[in-house]
Amino acid sequence: MITITAENYYRIYNQIKRFSLPDHIQKGAKFIDKVTNYGRNWKAYFDPYSSTYRDFANNYFAQLSKFIDEELKKSVVYERLQKHDSHSETGTRQRTNGSTRTRRKVRKSVSKPQKPPVQKAERPTLRKPSEVSKLDEAVYIIKRYYNMHNDRKTYQQILNFTNDLQLALMEKRITKTTPYAKEVMSIQENLLHLLDNISQTGKTLITFPVQTLNHFRNIVEGQRQLHSVKFIKSYMTLQGKIISNKTAINLYNRILEAKISETDPYRSEIDKILNNLRVFTKKNHYQGLLTIPKRDLSGLMGISHVKTKKAVQNKDTSRTPRGRKPNHGLSGFDGELTEDELQLLYGSPIAEEQTEPKIYKASDIVNMKFDVLPFTGKWEQFFGRPSRGFCFMVSGKPKFGKSTFCLEFADYLAKDFGKVLYIVREEGIGDTLKRKLEKLESIHPNFECADRLVNDYSKWDFVFFDSVTKLGLTPEHIERIRKQNPKICFIEIMQVTKQGVFRGSNSFQHDVDSVVEIFDIGCARQIGRFNPYAEMEFLDPDGEF
């Protein structure tokens, strides 16, 4: 049996940590690392006046020894540890004060038998990688996942990767007939499992078994992007930017040193790039604006798949929002989102009517009558009398009562002004929402709730987004929804940062008619078009939400 002590713990643990260790062993290792500063200071363990930590450590050492003897008996590491442990026992003797001293070993002239050479695991031989202009989408996903091996990733980093993968599935860039489709589905399951077992503020170490690692390596190294395409991408990212003369010279020299062959399919494009960089450096001694001739621009975009700044402005390229929770129910290649939902999330711009503007006299505007909602009581004092089709924004720190305020407002609207849809994504349809609704005096049949975005909002007069951050909406998405439904009123509920500022672009604040801030528990203030400024308290008489 291998005996683990404070002196040999890290030497042994470093050799076995690549194995799949139980949770209690990993938790104990983290505690040892924290208290000893990764083995640099064992003062707490050897302190004679404190036995709590020493008892815990000794118990953990015993469990670790038992695990090694029971689970790793057949491994080469176990034989090495056992051999080293026996040498350490015969090569040391105990001092009277408790410390150890290594005996001086006497060399003997006896010839030692030669050991057979250790056979190292050979790296699997790979066929020559195929050179492509663009990596297959599945290979790109596998390469990104393969590079996570032996690396610690945060919850947000794993969430970003999961969203990108599911976006590729929903957009049919990866289908059932795609090579390595099974590997992609396995990666998705592993990422979702990681998200379920890690806190939003924590990190996790990602490791793969040797067999899986070799399989991924074969796939990743089976394709290689052409050097010419990489240089075209680097060149395209400089389009329309002011760059220094040194930047252009560096790219020019890198292309020359790569020695792109004459048989390369994009050799002519590389020659044009070299010529353009040469002209740029002659005209601009310090810095200048790099522009690509229009006759070359579209061809290079097709090769590099890089969108220029101008192209991005003309087309909405918004992707799955980074903070959006992945769809755990996604079956894979036959996504559950409808075409209307895809249009809502990734959108197609609404065509503006190219008509002449209508001119009104100021005196005529004064005599016009508009559809105004006749609010009464505290809601009139707070919001004034807004016109139909308004858009409000509500923000506040967690647990200050954003949802409580909005639920009470939604109940008021449902009773007196029309049908209300409350999309509750942050808390979800659960016990918390139930308890908040129970505290309302009565719930009108016009008040309805949903746990996700819907396709058609024309059935309702008022729509609440709780919260915009969790739903993954951007100002552009909300603007499209409002243009499609000009008579519907929208209320956007926003999360805030640690500094108390709402999350997201300032466009959210500019595009609304009224801004509501829950600045304290149960206290709200409003600044808007229909009422310049107002404050109100929305707590129950007993001081509860």
Instruction: Give the residue-averaged pLDDT of 277-290.
Output: 81
pLDDT at 191 exceeding the cut of 60: yes
* 137 CB neighbour count, 10 Å cutoff: 19
Residue 402: band (very low, low, confident or very high) from pLDDT cuts 50, 70, 90:
confident
* pLDDT tens track for 120-168: 444 444 456 666 666 678 888 888 888 888 888 888 888 888 888 888 8
DSSP string, 22-76: -HHHHHHHHHHHHHHTTTT--HHHH-TT--HHHHHHHHHHHHHHHHHHHHSTTSH
pLDDT at 33 exceeding the cut of 80: yes
pLDDT at 282 exceeding the cut of 70: yes
Residue 491: band (very low, low, confident or very high) from pLDDT cuts 50, 70, 90:
very high
* 107 neighbors 116 (Cβ within 8 angstroms): no
pLDDT at 351 exceeding the cut of 70: no
Q: Residue 509: name the closest of 524, 523, 529 by CA.
A: 529
Please provide the size of the chain in residues: 545
pLDDT at 100 exceeding the cut of 80: no
Residue 323: band (very low, low, confident or very high) from pLDDT cuts 50, 70, 90:
low
* 538 neighbors 404 (Cβ within 8 angstroms): yes
Residue 381: band (very low, low, confident or very high) from pLDDT cuts 50, 70, 90:
very high
Query: Mean of the per-residue pLDDT values for the chain?
Result: 75
Q: Any idea what the Cα angle at residue 234 is, between residues 233 and 236, rounded to 5°?
A: 60
* 29 neighbors 85 (Cβ within 8 angstroms): no
Residue 420: band (very low, low, confident or very high) from pLDDT cuts 50, 70, 90:
very high
Q: Of 84-88, 100-104, 235-239, 491-495, give the lowest mean pLDDT range.
A: 100-104
pLDDT at 488 exceeding the cut of 90: yes
Tokens at residue 413, please? 């609207």
Q: Cα–chain-centroid distance for residue 258?
A: 35
Instruction: Give the residue-averaged pLDDT of 75-90.
Output: 56
CA 70, 74, 77, 83 torsion-angle sign: positive
pLDDT of residue 526: 92
* 270 neighbors 245 (Cβ within 8 angstroms): no
* 44 neighbors 50 (Cβ within 8 angstroms): yes
Instruction: Give the residue-averaged pLDDT of 483-498.
Output: 87
Q: Of 140-149, 202-211, 325-334, 450-459, give the lowest mean pLDDT range.
A: 325-334
pLDDT at 410 exceeding the cut of 90: yes
pLDDT at 339 exceeding the cut of 70: no
Distances (CA, A) of 203 to 154, 155, 289, 325, 434: 4, 6, 42, 17, 33
Residue 509: band (very low, low, confident or very high) from pLDDT cuts 50, 70, 90:
confident
Q: Exposure pattern of 209-229 as b/e (b: 16+ CB <10 Å)? A: eeeeeebbbebbebbeebbbb
3-state secondary structure of 221: coil
φ/ψ of 359, rounded to 5, equals -100, 130
Tokens 């080293």 locate to 84
pLDDT of residue 311: 42
pLDDT at 105 exceeding the cut of 60: no
pLDDT of residue 423: 92
pLDDT at 110 exceeding the cut of 80: no
Q: Cα–chain-centroid distance for residue 452?
A: 20
Distance, in Å, from the CA atom of 545 to the CA atom of 539, rounded to the nearest integer, reads 6
Distance, in Å, from the CA atom of 27 to the CA atom of 34, rounded to the nearest integer, reads 11
Percent of the chain with pLDDT over 90: 12
DSSP string, 262-291: TT-TTHHHHHHHHHHHHHHHHH-SSEEEE-
Instruction: Give the residue-averaged pLDDT of 162-189.
Output: 84
More confident call, 448 vs 432: 448
Q: β-strands 534-537, 523-528: how paired?
A: antiparallel
* 80 neighbors 86 (Cβ within 8 angstroms): no
Residues forming a β-bridge with 130:
223
